[in-house]
């Protein structure tokens, strides 16, 4: 549905994006993550046709974004990180305005606006946008990205600057669009990326350092940390780091043999083994390991 092939972008002597290739299948949620300056926004802007690649090709469906720009853009709903709105308009006026730009028939536009605003639980739709909270304005911007009924959504930091409740609502709404829409998003929130993305691409300095299904990346680059909960008065001579939690001692290690050896030692000393836990690396831990 969306294909990026050997794409690079240079600004003068600065290589912002360096020979990037990936594809996103129909109905998939695909995330691009990376530190500031990794090239995420440059990739987004090339995909939606705001800037041209220095090298490489981009297709939306079977339309090349460079040679068939108008046809490709009609398939896209775009949400930039900073998405100012016309503050003197109401939400209804604003969405009607953009619907008319896209040539949506009047009755269809009215039905579509009502449906989208209801789905987003956006109240006070006749209030001027300048009087709305940032979260409400973000919902209106999302509604605008859907007004042309696009098949591909390209969202750059969709929850940037939002409070946790609104942020969670927006991401849950995006997840509900999965299958109906093909979705590409960038985010600094690794918890959110892990929660909703089918596959991710990790960038560093304009290059891909990891890509694939989320669980596969966690298994490939992550690990498991083990925790032994036990009760023992005297822990002298124990080499593993030990914390006191809820009336227990807790020792940590990434090596299960160390945990087993400690469990044997606790038992030998007459202590009590409460439980052994294992904690697979989450995406944030893997991300920090990969990009450092």
How far apart are the C-alpha atoms of 259 and 53, rounded to whole Å? 52
- What is the layout of strands, in order, in the sheet containing 248-253? 242-245, 248-253, 224-231, 272-280
State the fold for domain 222-291.
Alpha-Beta Plaits (3.30.70)
pLDDT in tens, 153-188: 999 999 988 889 989 999 999 999 999 999 999 999
Q: How many residues does the chain have?
A: 292
What phi-psi label fits residue 210: left (phi over 0), alpha (psi between -120 and 50 degrees) or beta?
Answer: beta
pLDDT for 222 equals 85
Confidence of residue 124 (pLDDT cuts 50, 70, 90): confident
Alpha-carbon separation of residue 105 from 89, 90, 111 (angstroms): 21, 20, 10
Could you tell me whether strands 199-204 and 29-33 are parallel, antiparallel, or unpaired per DSSP bridges? parallel
Average pLDDT over residues 40-68: 95
How far apart are the C-alpha atoms of 52 and 44, rounded to whole Å? 11
Higher pLDDT, 124 or 157: 157
- What is the layout of strands, in order, in the sheet containing 76-79? 76-79, 152-156, 182-186, 29-33, 199-204, 207-213
**H or E element, residue 30:** strand 29-33
b or e along 8-47 (b: 16 or more beta carbons within 10 Å of the residue's beta carbon)?
A: bbeeeeebbbbebebebeeebbbbbbbeeebbbbbbbbbb
pLDDT for 203 equals 96
Q: Phi and psi at residue 241, in whole multiples of 5°?
A: -65, 135
pLDDT in tens, 212-267: 999 999 888 888 889 999 999 999 988 898 999 989 999 999 899 999 999 999 99
CA 156 to chain centre: 9
Q: Phi and psi at residue 73, in whole multiples of 5°?
A: -65, -25
* Reported pTM: 0.84
Tokens of 22: 């990936």
Mean pLDDT of the chain: 93
pLDDT for 77 equals 96
Tokens of 27: 């109905």
CA dihedral 76, 64, 46, 182 (to 10 degrees): 40
Give, as one character, the DSSP assignment of residue 131.
G
* Residue 280 clears pLDDT 90, i.e. is over it: no
Class of domain 2-220: alpha beta
Domain boundaries in the chain? 2-220, 222-291
């Amino acid at each position: 549905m969306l294909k990026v092939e050997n794409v690079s972008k240079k600004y003068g002597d600065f290589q912002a994006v360096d020979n990037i290739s990936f594809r996103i299948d129909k109905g998939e949620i695909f995330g691009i993550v990376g530190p500031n300056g990794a090239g995420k926004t440059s990739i987004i802007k090339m995909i939606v046709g705001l800037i041209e690649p220095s090298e490489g090709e981009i297709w939306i469906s079977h339309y090349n974004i460079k040679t068939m720009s108008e046809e490709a853009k009609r398939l896209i709903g775009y949400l930039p990180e900073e998405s100012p709105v016309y503050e003197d308009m109401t939400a209804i006026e604003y969405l009607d305005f953009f619907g008319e730009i896209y040539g949506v028939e009047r009755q269809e536009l009215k039905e579509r606006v009502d449906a989208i605003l209801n789905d987003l639980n956006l109240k006070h739709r006749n209030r001027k946008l300048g009087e709305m909270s940032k979260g409400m304005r973000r919902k209106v911007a999302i509604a605008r990205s859907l007004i042309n009924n696009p098949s591909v959504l390209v969202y750059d930091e969709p929850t940037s600057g939002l409070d946790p409740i609104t942020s969670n609502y927006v991401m849950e709404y995006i997840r509900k669009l999965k299958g109906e829409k093909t979705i590409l998003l960038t985010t600094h929130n690794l918890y959110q990326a892990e929660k909703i993305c089918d596959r991710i691409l990790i960038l560093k300095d304009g290059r891909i350092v990891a890509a694939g299904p989320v669980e596969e990346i966690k298994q490939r680059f992550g690990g498991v940390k083990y925790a032994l909960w036990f009760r023992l008065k005297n822990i002298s001579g124990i080499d593993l780091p030990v914390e006191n939690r809820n009336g227990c001692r807790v020792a940590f290690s990434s090596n299960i043999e160390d945990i087993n050896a400690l469990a044997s030692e606790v038992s030998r000393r007459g202590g009590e083994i409460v439980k052994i836990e294992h904690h697979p690396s989450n995406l944030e831990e893997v991300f920090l390991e990969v990009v450092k």
